[in-house]
Chains A and B, each alone.
Chain A
Amino acid sequence: MADTRNAGRPLSPHLQVYKKSLTMTLSIVHRITGVALSAGTLLLVWWLTAAATSDQYFDFVQSVFGSWIGKPVLFGFTWALIHHTLGGIRHLVWDTGHGFDLKDVEMGAKLTLAGSIILTVIVWAIALGVS
């Protein structure tokens, strides 16, 4: 297909004319966490492949994940996975035609954010053996 865009044409103002809101932020965060989780998929498959390969290779991958850089990355992926899942449930509710009132949308955003942080902390408390 030919590129028919005219770079010189005037553009109408877009995102920058709106006051920033939590719902806007969560919208883009849902997409960013989705993209980030693709890298998480790579790590999960790497880990599974290592487990199917040899003790030495598995220990190497485990030591990378358990390192000072590995742990924060896994913590980030845990939050991204939980946040994307909760955000996804929010989208599925919208797909049924419910929850479009401003009040509900705002409440859903807060619940998604708070829920993702609380669940991530719980998962890591269990993972690190904090009782």
Chain B
Amino acid sequence: MLKKTPLGQVLGLGSAKAGTEHWWHQRVTAIAGIPLVIFLVGYLLVHRGASRADIVASMHNPFVAILMGLTIANLVWHMRLGLQVVIEDYVHTDHTKYALLLLNTFFAVVMAVAGLYAILKMSIGL
């Protein structure tokens, strides 16, 4: 017998109220990460020892800027999900756990904003 209200059954969110969303986002960003990691390593190899002017010039190409932006966004999302699981697995004191989860979110947001801003600035030269 399924001990769930019809609404609860349809929503399928479980006791954590998040359903499978976390797991699914982890996989989506993992799959997207494969080509983006290849791009990142390739980009860094091509631009090894490059001057700042070369890096800025490379970002003038929209395809490079967009791919680097996607790399940062995808990486940061994947990182936040992963670190969250690590914190939840190992930290069992409530106040420490919630403080770390909050810091994790702040860290991810700062990395995303800083990375994307740097790319945008070089790309369109604000």
Chain A interfacial positions (CB closer than 8 Å to B): 1, 3, 5, 31, 34-35, 37-38, 41-42, 44-45, 48-49, 51-52, 54-55, 58-59, 78, 81-82, 85, 88-89, 91-92, 95, 123, 126-127
Contact = CB atoms under 8 A, between A and B. Distances in A.
Interface of B is mostly: helix
Which of B68, B82, B107 has the most C-beta atoms of chain A within 10 angstroms of its own C-beta? B82
Interface string B47-84: 01000100110000000000010001001100100110
Query: Which 3 residue pairs spanning A and B have beta carbons closest together?
Result: A52-B118, A58-B52, A48-B118
A78 B40 CA distance: 11
The size class of the interface chain B forms with chain A is 20 to 34
A126 B45 contact: yes
A38 B79 contact: yes
Contacts of B115: 44-45, 48-49
Given A81-B37, A85-B37, A92-B31, A55 B52 contact: yes
A81 B41 contact: yes
Contact of B94 (A1, A49, A78): A1
A123 B55 CA distance: 20
Given A5-B92, A41-B79, A45-B111, A51 B34 contact: no
